[in-house]
Structure 1
Amino acid sequence: MSFDGTSAVLLLAHGTPDVLGEMAEYLSKVTGGRALPDEVVKELQHRYAEIGLRETPGLEPPPLTKWTILQGRLLETALDGQRVYVGMRNWHPYIADVVTQMRLDGVTHIKAVCLAPQNSRTSVGLYRSAVLAAAAGMEVEFVAGWAESPALALAFAERLWPVWAQACAESGRRVPVLFTAHSVPCRTIMTGEASVAGARPGTPVQMTPDPYPVEAKRTAQMVAERMAGVGFGDRDWYFAFQSQGISGGPWIGPTVEDTLKAIRAEGHAGVVMQPVGFLCDHVEILYDIDIAFRKSADELGLKLWRAESLNDSDVLVRALAEVVTGGYRATVDEMTVPAGV
C-alpha cells in the first residue's frame, strides 16, 4: 500500500452501545436482525451496567469505543499522519457511514484491518462483507488475520510479565497462566470452505476448516515463547475459550469455568488470566473476567489476577503499523469492488 492523498487505513471493531436503553437495538445488529428474548437483553444490560454503562451518556464513551478510537489516533501518528479511520460493525460509527466519509474525503484505496487478530471466516467475514458492501468502486486491501505478528505477541508478553511475576511472588510458588480468546458457535467452524477460488459447480475441491481456533492458540503459544526468557515454560500455561453465548446453541471450548476447575484440581491456588483475542477493555474483559470469572475462581479457592489489556500499548501500535505497511506479512485479500455491487 502506497501512502498518498487517496489512500487510508480503516480499523474495524465490533462496536458497543453508548447507553443501556440501546441494548436491544444493538443486539439486533449483532444477531443480524434476530430478536433475542427479553431475559437475554436484561442480563446484558445488567453486565454493561456493572462496568459503568448508564441510561444517559457519560463523560466519555464506553471502553471499547474509547480505546479503539485512541488506537486509531496513535496509529495515525505512528504512520506519520497517514489517515486512519475507525468503523464499527454493530454500532456507531458504522462501517458504512465511515466508508462514505472516506469517499467524500477523496479516498479511493482502503487498507482495512480487523482489530481481531485471529481470522474467523464467520466473524471476520462479516467485517469483510460490510466493508465491500460500502466500498463500491474503491480499491480494498482487507487484512483477514495477523495472529502470528511477533510485535503483537511482544505486546501481550509485556503486559503479562509484571502481573505473572507479582502473582508468583505473592503466592510463593509458580502460578499458571490461562490464555483465552472469545468462543464462537460450533457451527461457524464446522463448515468447510472451498480452497479453490472460482471452482465450477460440481468440481471436487478440498474443504478446509476455519482457522480461528488454531490461530487463537498460536497467538497464545507465541506469547508464551516471548516469556521464555524469564523462565516461563510450556507447563506454565493453559488455554480456554471464554464468553460463550447465552442465547443457545453449542459453542467451542474448553470453557474458562471448566479449565479453572481443572487448574484447581491440579493443586494450584491461583491463576493469571490474559485474553489474547482482545486488544482493549470491553465487557468480555471488564465483566466476564473481572467479575464473573473472578467469582468462579473465588468459589474454587483460586486467587485470580488479570494482565492489563493492551489498550494504548506502544507495541500494539507498532504491530498495527507493521501490518499496514507490510513490515509483517498478514493474510491480505486484494480486490477492487465494482461500482454498483
Structure 2
Amino acid sequence: MPRAIVDITPAGQRPDEDPSLAVRNNGGVPPSAEPAPLGRREALLLLSFGGPEGHDDVMPFLENVTRGRGIPRERLEEVAEHYHHFGGVSPINDQNKALLAALEAELRSAGIDLPVYWGNRNWAPYVEDVWQQMADDGIQHAYVLATSAYASFSGCRQYHEDVARARAALTGDAAAPGGPTAEKLPHYFDADGFVRANADALAAALAALPAEVRDSTRLVATAHSIPDTMAAVAGPEGHAYEAELQAAAQQVVDRAAPGRPFDLVWQSRSGPPSVPWLEPDVNDHLEALAEAGEKAVVLFPVGFVSDHLEVIWDLDNEARETAERLGLVFARAATAGTHPAFATALRELLEERRAGGEPRLGTNCPASCCFVRRPPADTATNGRPPSG
C-alpha cells in the first residue's frame, strides 16, 4: 500500500505551516563554512519529485501529490490520462536513474569516493526509506541535491522539509530527528555547466529549423508557473524565482544566440482559476506571437532539469498542437538532462560545499524564505493537479 504523503504539491503549502520550519530544515545543523571533518562518512542524495511506474500506480501517486487539497476525483482522472498515455510510467524515474549514473561516473572521474543515493517526495524510493538506508549504511552526513535549480516553495524550501520529515521519521520525534545530518546544495541556475547544457540544446533546436526562418525565429523560455503570492516571497528579497529564471534564460541565449531577444513565459499551472498565477501561459503567448506576425518559435524549458511529463505533455503535445494550429514553425529544445557539463557543474557544487565554501541561497535560507500561506482546500477544488 503506497504511503500517503500529506498535502505535498509542487505549488502549495499546508495552511498550518510554521515559518520556523525553515530553521529546522537541516535538523538544527547550520550549513558549515568549514571543510568537512576528515573521516566523516558522507553521501550525496539526489532528491526528486517521483512518479508512477505503471497504470496501477497513477491514481495513488496523484492522491499522494494532492492529498488535503480538495481536488475532485474527476480532475485527478483527467491528469491520470496524461500518464496512461505513456503506459502509466513517468519518465522522471528513468531520467533520475540516468542522472544518478552520470553523477557516479563524474565523481569517480574526479577521484571522489562518495556513495550516491536517490529518494523521492511522492513515490518510491521515498526519502524516508532512503534516509533509513543511509543510517543503516553508517552515513553521518548527506549533501542533498534537489532536481530543481531555482528558488520557490516547491523547488527549494519543500525539499528542505522533505529532509526534516525523513530525519524525524527515524525517531518518531521531530524535536529529536535521527540519521545523517544534512545540508541542501544551493541553487544552480547560474552554474556554468547548467547554462552550457541548455545553450547547447537551444543551439541544436535552432539548427534543426528550416534555414529560411532560423534567424527570425522567436526564442521563448518556459518554466513552471506558481501563484503570484508565492512568487513574491520566493527568496529572502522576494521574486527570486522570476529573477533567477530571467538571469538563467539570458545567459543561455547569450551563449547560444547572442543578441537575440527572448520571452519568459509559464506552463503547467495547477491552481484554481480564482488564484492569480504567473502569466502568460505558453499557449496564450503562442497565440500572441502568431497575431504579431511571427512565423517560427523555439521553446527552451530552462525552468526544468529533465524532460519529464510536464515538459513532454505541456510542450511536445499541447504547445506543439497550438503552434501547428497557428501555422507557426515549432521546435523544442532539450533540458539539461545528463549533459556532461551539467554533471560536472553538480560535482563542482558538491565540492564547494565539502570544502566549506560560503553558504549560498538554497543552502542557507532565512526562516521567512519562500513562506506563503495557501488558500484553504475548499478554494482549490477547480485546480488541475500537477502532471510532472
With the shorter chain as reference, the TM-score category is 0.7 to 0.9
Closer/same/farther in 2, CA of residues 40 and 174 from structure 1, 3 Å limit: same
Tell me how far apart the structure 2 counterparts of residues 76 and 318 of structure 1 sit (CA, whole Å): 11
The answer to whether the aligner puts 1:214 opposite 2:243 as a matched pair is: yes
- Is residue 216 of structure 2 the alignment partner of residue 174 of structure 1? yes
Distance 1:102 1:24, change over 3 A: same
Aligned counterparts of 1:324 and 1:218: Cα–Cα separation in 2: 22
CA distance in 1, matches of 2:90, 2:234: 36
Partner of 2:131: 99
Is contact 1:270–1:304 with CA below 8 Å preserved after alignment?
yes
1:53 and 2:87 equivalent? Answer: yes
- Summarize deviations over 1:63-94 as a string: whole Å, max 9, x none: 10001121012112211242111111111111
2:188 is matched with 146
Asked if the contact 1:297/1:304 (under 8 Å) is kept, the reply is: yes
Q: Which moved more, 1:291-300 or 1:128-137?
A: 128-137
User: Hey, which bits of structure 1, 4+ residues long, moved more than 4 A?
Assistant: 1-5, 327-330
Unaligned runs of 5+ in 1: 55-60, 196-207, 336-341
Matched, 1:333 2:366: no
Q: For the residues of structure 1 that align with 2:134 and 2:289, how far apart are their CA atoms?
A: 49
Offset from partner CA, 1:31-65 (integer Å, 9 cap, x none): 34334212211211211223x124xxxxxx63100
Aligned pairs for 1:1-341 (under 5 A) are: 2=36, 6-50=41-85, 52-54=86-88, 62-80=90-108, 81-135=113-167, 136-137=177-178, 138-167=180-209, 169=211, 171=213, 173-191=215-233, 208-228=237-257, 232-235=258-261, 237-245=262-270, 247-248=272-273, 249-326=275-352, 331-333=361-363
CA distance in 2 between partners of 1:4 and 1:226 (Å)? 41
Give the TM-score, by structure 1 length. Answer: 0.83
RMSD between superposed Cα atoms in Å: 2.4
TM-score (norm 2): 0.74
> Does structure 2 retain, via aligned residues, the 8 Å contact 1:8–1:85?
yes
For the residue of structure 2 that corresponds to 1:140, the secondary structure is: strand
Partner AA of 1:177 in structure 2: L
Higher relative contact order (CA 8 A, sep 6+): 2
User: What letter corresponds to residue 99 of structure 1 in structure 2?
Assistant: W
8 Å CA contact 1:118, 1:147 repeated in 2: yes
The offset of 1:171, in angstroms, is 2.9
Q: CA deviation digits over 1:82-140, x for unaligned, max 9?
A: 21111111111111111111111111111111110011134421111010222334321
Structure 2 residue matching 1:91: 3-state secondary structure: coil
How far is 1:192 from its partner? 7.6
Per the alignment, in what secondary structure is the counterpart of residue 287 of structure 1?
A: helix
Deviations 1:141-183, CA, capped at 9 Å, x for gaps? 2124221112110011111112112225253642111111111
CA displacement, residues 3-40 of structure 1 (integer Å, 9 cap, x when unaligned):
86610011111111122333332223223433421221
Compute the displacement of 1:210 (Å). 4.3
What is the total number of aligned residue pairs between the two structures?
Answer: 311
Contact map agreement 1:9 1:84 (CA 8 A) in 2: yes
For residue 166 of structure 1, what is the amino acid of its counterpart? Answer: A
Identity of aligned residues (%): 29
Deviation at 1:212, TM superposition (A): 1.1
- Residue identity matched to 1:140: A
Q: Distance in 1 between matches of 2:151 and 2:67?
A: 20
Aligned in 2, Cα 1:62/1:4: closer, same or farther, shift over 3 Å? farther
- Could you tell me which residue of structure 2 aligns to residue 203 of structure 1? none
Structure 1 distance, partners of 2:48, 2:240, is 19
Q: Which has the higher strand share?
A: 1
8 A contact 1:5–1:106 mirrored in 2 = no
Q: Contact (CA 8 Å) 2:141, 2:181: kept in 1 or not?
A: yes
Larger mean CA deviation between 325-334 and 310-319 belongs to 325-334
Cα distance in structure 2, aligned partners of 1:233 and 1:247:
38
Unaligned runs of 5+ in 2: 1-34, 168-176, 366-388
Which amino acid counterpart does residue 117 of structure 2 have in structure 1?
Y
